[in-house]
Amino acid sequence: MKEFIFKAYSDDGSVIEDSVQAESQREAAAEIFARELHLIHLEEKKEPASLFSWSRPFSSRQKLALFAEEWASLLDAGLTMTDSISLLEKQMNKKERALLSSIRKTISTGHGVGESFERARCFPPFFLSLLSVGELSGTLPEELHRLSRYYLKEDHFIKSIEGALAYPLFVTFFALCLFIVILTFILPSFALLFDSLSIPFPPAASLALSLGLWLKDYGLYLAGALLFSITGAILFFYSKQGREMGHSLLYRSRFYRRLLLVRFCAALSALLESGRTLSESLRDSRDVLGNRNAQRALSFVADHLERGEDFPDVLERSGFSLPLVHHLCRVGMESGELPRFLRQAEEILTHETERKIRRFRAILEPSLLLFTGAVTALMVFSVMLPVFQAAGAHMG
């Protein structure tokens, strides 16, 4: 299934920019015509050319948040669009300066702000969506402030998860390195000592010694095979089939879906507050998720919503939602304050996710330390105990 982006207009003259999934361009066009839209432009959505996203300008959430906040402040101060971008250019690195210069020149030739940024192909869909809303409604500084808050909040959330997992991963890596050193260097030295003193090597130590000698002889081959396998797996998951498989595997995880729901609630509430309709906001927030299965679920919700069905019920039927989100969406729809209840759902899910991560870390860290200490102690005592016994027998 391919994804196509299109621009079309309806019978009332309104222009619609959206995406549709189909097997071919002809099927995509047929589906657009079935929605009673008149097609203007249709093309297959291109994947990013570089495997390394950090090599692109404005690749981090923190950079996007800072850029949006500074730009909003300059616009609030009364500077024109091109003058404010020109000032921002001077603070950027070489790639970002060149990108902003190109955007400024495009705006100067009479193109819209949203269109100029979209042509750069370096900014995420959510950023472009709110930028277009701000341009059309005349509230660009407010939308830029909203973007800054969104990206700062998401950056803080992602970094809290990374920070929580960093220490357990470091302990695991350190323990693995320690075991390899013990097996390949320390145990063989003790084996030579035991052999010279005619002391029998303990069974546990003999097994560990055999493993260490095998690693010493074939460790490079094993490391090469692992490196080759990891490289092959990375290249496979960057292919189209691999991405589909990776998205499906991740989507089955309830924890991962919770992370996606945090992003979904934050993006949908921001889009609704900017004045977008619920159907438009659902389609725009779909690109924020970055998971094909979740995007299909939101497409399902948006399609059924356009048929007049109830949003909370359709969201629950899609399999993407959780009971908490369904309940708060129901209350938000009935009270007419859906954005506020979506923000509440985001905060609850964020706190719950962080609490689960802290609990997981609180259990994992001492478990790893105890396991590392126990295995190290077992090896030390299995080697040293025969030495003490032999010394005691000799003194006796």
Between CA 130 and CA 75 the distance in angstroms is 16
Q: For residue 256, what pLDDT is reported?
A: 85
Residue-wise pLDDT for 218-238, tens only, equals: 878 888 998 999 888 888 877
pTM of the model: 0.66
Closest Cα partner for 172 from 360, 369, 359? 369
In 3D space, the residue among 330, 320, 322 whose CA is nearest the CA of residue 352 turns out to be 322
Mean of per-residue pLDDT scores for the chain: 81
pLDDT tens track for 64-83? 899 999 999 999 988 888 89
- Position 366 scores a pLDDT of 82
The closest alpha carbon to 28, from 64, 3, 46, 58, belongs to 3
Neighbour count for residue 5 (Cβ, 10 Å): 17
Mean pLDDT of 326-332: 91
Interacting residues of 86 by C-beta distance below 8 A, sequence separation 6+: 104
* Residues constituting the chain: 396
Q: What is the mean pLDDT of residues 21-39?
A: 81
